[in-house]
Structures are given as C-alpha cells and as structure tokens.
Amino acid sequence: MGRRIRTRLASLFRRGRCERELDVELRFHVDMLTEQNVRAGMPRFEAREAALRAFGAVDRIKEDVRDTWLSRLFETVTQDLRYGVRGVRRNPGFAAIVILTMALGIGANTAIFSVVYAVLLKPLPYKDPDHLVVLHQQRPRAGVQDMRFSYKEILDYRAARSLEDVVELHDMWFILLGQAEPQRVATSVVSAIFFDVLGVRPLYGRTFQPSDDKPGAPAVLVLSHRYWQHTFGADPSVVGRIFRMNDRPHQVIGVLPPLPHYPVDVDVDVYMPASACPFRSDPTMLDDRDGRMMRAIARIRPNVTPQKARADLDIMAARLQGEYPNSYPADRGYRTIAVPLQDELTTSFKMTLNVLLGTAGFVLLIVCASIANLLLARMVRREQEVVVRSALGASRGRLVRQLLTESTLLALAGGLVGLALAQFGLDLLVAFAGRFTTRAVEIAIDRHVLAYTLVMSVITGLLFGSVPALTGSLGLTPTARASGGRSTQGRLRIRSTLIVIQVAASFMLLIGAGLTIRTVIKLQQVDPGFSTDDIVTMRIDLNFSKYRGQRAAEFWKEIDQRIKAVPGVVRAGGAGTFPLNDQGPFSQPIRIKGCEISENAGRPTAAVRHATPDYFAAIGQPVLSGRTFLEGETWGTAPVVIVNRSFARHYWPERDPIGQQISGDDGERWSTVVGVVADTKQQLTEPVRDEIYIPTFQVGFLASSWLVRSTFDPTLMEREIRAAVHSVDPDQPIHNFRTLAEVRSASIASPKLTATLLGIFGLLALLITAAGIAGVVTFSVNQRTQEFGVRMALGAQRTNVVTMVLRQGLQLVLIGLALGMAGALVLTGVLTTLLFGIEPTDGITFITVSMVFVAVAAIACFVPARRAASVDPMIALRVG
C-alpha cells in the first residue's frame, strides 16, 4: 500500500523515471514468459511472439497503469479545465448570463453571511469570550426582567463561587470642554479591572489601574476607537492631553482598538473609573442596597458548567432574599441569571439575521434552478458534440466530469463578481446591523467570508451542473440517440420541475417581502397623537457641577425665553424627552390618593417626563381638560402634574381627574392634577402608556429635549438656537438637531430597511423565475413547431395555439403557487416578531402576490405563445 502511494506521488514529480521503470518491469515479464516458452521447446522467435500474445497489448497495459498515477489525474483535470474555458469562450453571451445570475445569488449570500459570521458566529475579540456573561437581576412575579445592581449587590456577587470576576458599569452623560465647542460625551463608568477582565489591550497608552479607582485619584479617561477617530482624527498624540469634564480636569491615558461594547443601546465615547463618577462615588449611593444604577459583567470560572453557575446564582439570590426581605419582596420574586455576553450583544438582531440568511438561501436555490434550466436548454444545441465525443470513446463519467468542470468554472466566475457586489453593499449592511448590535464594527469581507464564497461557488456549480450532466442522455450511441425522443421529453419534465421549484420558492420570498412592506405601510399610517410638521428637535444636557436644583430650574426658564425670542420661532417647548425618540421616559412607581392598591397587587407605575408650559402646543398634543402648566409654576410653588387620557381612564374612569392628587415618593409629597392631555405613542409599535408630566420650571432636571415649531430652514434655525443658548452659557453643548419628521422616519428605519432587502430579494427571484418560465415555454414551442403547423393546417385558429401554450406555462405556475402557498403558511410564522398590524397569514398579501405572479407568468408565456401562433404551416410541415 505504501509503495503504491509513493509511486503515485512520484508520478507528479519524476514522470520520466516512472516511465522507464514501467518499461523495465513490462520487459521483465515478457522476457520471463519468453524463457518459459523456450524451455518448453519453442524456437526463441516463436516463444517471444507467444509470450506477447499471452501477456496482452503492452500499450493498453501501460495506459491502465498510467491511469492510476496522480500525474494522469492532473493531466485529465487540466484537459477538462482547458475544455471548459474553451466552451465558455465559444459562448460569451451564455457565459455572461450565467455569471451575472450566479453573482446575484452568491453576492447576496456572501453579504448576508459576512454579517451573520461577524455578529453571530465569530467569537468576541476578548480573552476567553465564552466565559463572559452579563448578570441580570429579575423580579419575575412583577414582570421585571432586567433590574440594575447596587454597589452592595456587586460586592455580594463577587463572592459567588462560580464567578471569577464581577465588574460594574453604568452609563452617564458628561460635558467635555477643551475643544472648539463643548461636547456632550457618552461615558461608561467601569471598574478599574474592567478591561483586564475582558482581556482588552489599548491601541495607544494604557487602560485603568487599581490606583486610578481610589478616592481622590487624578481623573483619567480612555477613549473609544470610534470617538477617537471622529473627534480627534485618529491622532495618537491625544494620549496625555488634559480636558475639563464638568468640574474636574481629566487626562486621556489611552485609546481602545475597534471593539464591540456593551450595552448595545449606547455609543460609548469615553470610559472613566467608577470612583471618578460623582454619582457613583456618593457615600449615600454606596451604602444604599436599593440604589440600583449599574450593570454587571462577570467571568465564569474555568471548568464551571452553565448548570453549576445557574445553581450558584440561585443559592446567592435565595440568601440575599432571606437576609434583606425589604429589598427583595417575596411577593415579587427574585432571581439572578447569567446570559453569555455574545448572546446579549445580538439578541435583538438574531431573528432578523436568520430571516435574511434564509431569504438569501432561497434566492440561491432559485438561481441554481434557473441556471440548470439554461444548461438544459444549451444541451439541446450540444447534442451533436456529445454524440461525436461519445462515438470517439469518451465514457459517460468523462462527459459528466467535463460538464461539471465547466459549470464549476462559471460558478467560480460568478462568485468573484458576487464578491464584488457583496463588498459594494457592505456599508449598507454595516449601518443596518449597527441599529441592532455593536458588533457591526466587526463586519468585513475576511478570510472566513472568502472561504464561504469559494465553497458556496463550488457547491452551487456542482449542484446546477449536475442536473444536465445526469439527465440520462450522456454516453448514448448515435443510434440510440436517434431512435427516440425520450431524452428530450425527460429534459422537458426536469425543466418543468425546476420551474415549479422556482415559482414555489419565489412565492414564499415575495410573501415575506409583502408582509414586511405591509408592516411599513401600517407603521406609516399610525397616528402618534401629535404633529411632526415644521418642528426641529434638539437635546441639552446641563453641567451638573454648575446647575443643580433651583439653579437648573431657572436655567430652563431662561432658555425657554431666549429660544422663543429667536426670529421665526412660532412655538417652542421643552420636555425630558419626546415621542418616537431613542430616549424614552423613565417609569416610576406612584401612589394615587383615594385609590389605594392592595399590597399583593403591586404599586402602579407610569412613564414620567417633565415639560414646559408650551410643550403641548409646540408638539400639537391637545389638552383635553383642565389647563397646561403656568409660567409662574416654578421652583418652590405648589407641585402640579398633567396626566394623559390613558392614565385618567385607568384610575378615574368615573371621576373628574382635575384636582386629584398623585405622589411619586410614597406619599411624602403630593402633586395636584391640573390637566389631561391626549395620548401619544412613545414608539409606533408599542401601545399607549400611562404618562405623567411634571413642570420643568418646578424641578431641577439636568437634561431636556426641545421642540421648536418654525417655517424657517432647519439649518438656519439650528444656528440661531445655538447662539441663543450660548448667550446664556457659552460652555453649554447643544446636540442632536433633527426635524421631528426625521425622528419619525428614523423610528421605522429598521423595519423599512428589512422590507427593502426582502423586497429586493423577492423582485430578483420574480425576474429570474419569469425568465425561466419564458425559457421553458420557448423550449417546448421549439420542440412542437411541427405539431403547431399540423394543427393550423387542419384549421386551428392562432388564438387556440396561443391559449394552448399559455395553459401549459400557467399550469406550472399554478402548481408552484400551490406548493409555495403551503410553504409560506408554514414559514411565515417565523416573521411574527418582524410584523406589526398584520397577521403572518394576511389574506391581502397572499392574494396580491398570487395575482402578481400569475400576471408576470402570463406575460412571460405570451411572447413564446405568439411565436408559436405565427408559425407558417407550410414551412413547419416542410421542416418536419
């Protein structure tokens, strides 16, 4: 066995030596037979001739031996490749169609796979990423799935046996001074060992050390890669520079490499150690077990199974609940779970990605079926070539191999073009993925994606090439080939089957696209409860070291007056946030006087935001009863609130809400309801929430969004508003200028882009399928030319011929639609989480897509049908 392998390998590099050894061995065997014959009494001449007759044809034996050599395999493959290249060059039009069609299918799959690999399959770029988990405290009986951690709880879980490290992080907004303009920076406040636990090394400088987290230590910052690039132009010399953040100087000590960050809903600009955060380092916060503001990331110890970790967390939760019953009420339940960090970063995107990957797979299936049809049609023209090659001794296996080689070459060329198309659309997919996960920064055409494209190209080439190669018509003798038309009929049946498959797959794709498009239409038709016309929005975050309590309230009143004085401003109002914005209002437990709730029922909650007196008029939210806030309701005056209609209907269904009282601090301070406003939707896909509005001028909030109604150009308004705010405080940043119409459009950007991608895939599938239908019908017409001539010679009308051909094509379409409808009813359930306002079995979508398919198929069949009807009977009969 070993000698045989060595001989085969030697044939690649020492062909001449192998040939000489083969000659010597064959000569030895002939000489041996000759000597045996001589010893038997035969003359030497006759003895040699007898030996040669007994040994057999030497040249044929040599060929048989050479066939076992790798060099012969190499020669054969090289011949097949040359033949395939010549075949492609002889038919450039056909090759261009196949390559372009393959490029569309493989390009779509490559682009989607690049996202799937980077987001779902690729390990996180951290040390031992499989051991990193995010901890979530939950109150399952109260419906709370993600309760933040207090500092004391972080210390408790650091003692858990299964956890090697537990680090804290929370998000804040601070003001960074020292640039051309003050900047509001998203700051992630983390433990000093945060980056060590993740295993992250800086691109420049260093990360935090334990000494940076000690009370009174100099304030330091680490920049995220995105912020460093966008703000400092990727200048490494920024390390060491000192900036003023709020009331302290902060030195930049490092820059991070491009990495995904947690949480996914915040684009982190800078990182600071926990002790430097003025809120986290407050002694009151550190001693308060219920002061929950932090997230927790942990590393599971080596050799600890997920079951063991889960059991340890359950034990810890039970112990805490027993020791601190007031902090963990038994009626609400309490537990802590550990979710892998990789899953945490992709949870909201996984379903969408799976749908897109499945859709791209369907497109590739349709492409393969279409190209197989093209190759079957081409085989009709290559009948004579195949007959000649078969007659010259080519075996069926050799013919099949040559056809598969040619189809694989076409697929590889299509894969190269598809790779270019995928690269062209990658930026769009990165932006799309960035709405769901911070892992979008890792999306690229890397070696894994290239390997996927290569494998996909080879597999698809073999897949669509095997259909015409294995139809049973290869290797037949000319006589057998001429004696019957069963081969042609077999090809027609195969082509018809492929068309049915294409129609079924295309129908399912179009149903998915139709459902998501209908979702976008439904979202655009939702009445949010306010007007979006001619409104510019912006965000102002105060410097907490300068503005607190009464001074912050007075600042907002001054800003309100300055913005209203800007020329062109019709209405202006501020609020903690506004509907359809990324930042929703915070929910708060409340008490309602005269409407006491039993302890087992749990405290009612409401979405709380603050608002200025003109906010409701600026956004176009009607006041249904009572009044809005007054200019004189400022710091120190009697507390008042406004509620929305949903809140009033829930708690005072048969009473007048005006004059009722609400408390947000467990009855220590009561606020009087002075007005009821119409309901608005926080998000178009969510139901209306109970809402409470507090006067901005009465409470010292640190952040506010402003809405300005004006008919002037938004760019001009932005410049004027910045000047108005800076006239009050030149160090005050204003950011996120957008029109309210842009905010609404951005709120549905993700479903809109999903619908666009599915729509493109569906349209592509429809066009390819229509071309396939036309090709099959044309092939059938060409085969039945004599039949049509006979029919018309016997008196058949041209309309009858057209109807006959149309019926043939539409029969295939109807069969495919029936199969596709059954498949769609099964698969559309996967789309439930992506839909809004419609069911996966929406009748309008199914009927509309069916009608479109029948119409497109009829058009595709009509062209060859007219050609069939235009056949001259005399010419058809003469040809027959």
Residues 834 and 797 in one domain: yes
Residues 192 and 245 in one domain: yes
Q: Tokens 């359950």 appear where?
A: 314
Residues 555 and 700 in one domain: yes
Residues 459 and 403 in one domain: yes
- Give domain status of residue 364, yes or no: yes
Distance from C-alpha of 102 to C-alpha of 104, rounded to nearest angstrom = 5
- Residue 440: domain span: 350-524+749-879
Residues 215 and 283 in one domain: yes
* Structural domain count, the chain: 4
Residues 493 and 551 in one domain: no
Per-residue pLDDT tens for 725-777? 999 999 889 988 999 999 998 888 888 888 888 888 888 888 888 887 777 77
Per-residue pLDDT tens for 329-382? 888 889 999 999 999 888 878 888 888 888 888 888 888 888 887 777 776 666
- Give domain status of residue 547, yes or no: yes
pLDDT (0 to 100) of residue 481: 46
Check: CB of residue 712 under 8 Å from CB of residue 560.
Answer: no
pLDDT (0 to 100) of residue 480: 43
- Give domain status of residue 260, yes or no: yes
- Give domain status of residue 658, yes or no: yes
pTM summary value:
0.79
- For the stretch 847-853, contacts whose Cβ atoms lie closer than 8 Å and that sit 24 or more positions apart, written own/partner, are 848/514, 849/507, 849/510, 849/511, 849/514, 850/507, 850/817, 850/821, 852/510, 852/766, 853/503, 853/506, 853/507, 853/510, 853/766, 853/813, 853/817
Residues 338 and 354 in one domain: no
**Tell me, what amino acid is at 753?**
L
Which of the listed residues 318, 344, 370 is the one where a domain comes to its end? 344
Check: CB of residue 408 under 8 Å from CB of residue 465.
Answer: yes
Which of the listed residues 311, 344, 377 is the one where a domain comes to its end? 344
Residues 623 and 722 in one domain: yes
- Give domain status of residue 710, yes or no: yes
- Give domain status of residue 538, yes or no: no
Residues 340 and 354 in one domain: no
How many CB atoms neighbour CB 38 within 10 A? Answer: 15
Q: Report DSSP letters for 502-530, one per residue.
A: HHHHHHHHHHHHHHHHHHHHHHHH---SS
Q: Report DSSP letters for 637-690, one per residue.
A: SPPEEEEEHHHHHHH-TTS--TT-EEESSTTSS-EEEEEEE----SSTTS----
Which of the listed residues 20, 52, 68 is the one where a domain comes to its end? 68
Residues 156 and 286 in one domain: yes
Residues 550 and 670 in one domain: yes
Distance of CA 495 to the CA centre of its chain: 34
The DSSP symbol for 483 reads: S
- Give domain status of residue 84, yes or no: no
pLDDT (0 to 100) of residue 476: 47
- Give domain status of residue 529, yes or no: no
Residues 702 and 773 in one domain: no
SS3 content of the chain, % helix, strand, coil (to 5): 55, 15, 30
Mean pLDDT by 10 residues, the chain (880 residues): 50 58 66 74 75 65 57 58 66 78 88 90 90 92 84 91 91 87 90 93 94 89 94 93 88 93 86 88 84 91 88 92 89 90 87 87 86 74 62 64 79 89 86 85 89 89 75 49 51 78 89 91 89 90 85 92 92 90 78 69 79 94 94 91 93 90 85 94 88 91 90 88 92 90 88 88 86 75 65 69 76 88 86 87 90 86 72 56
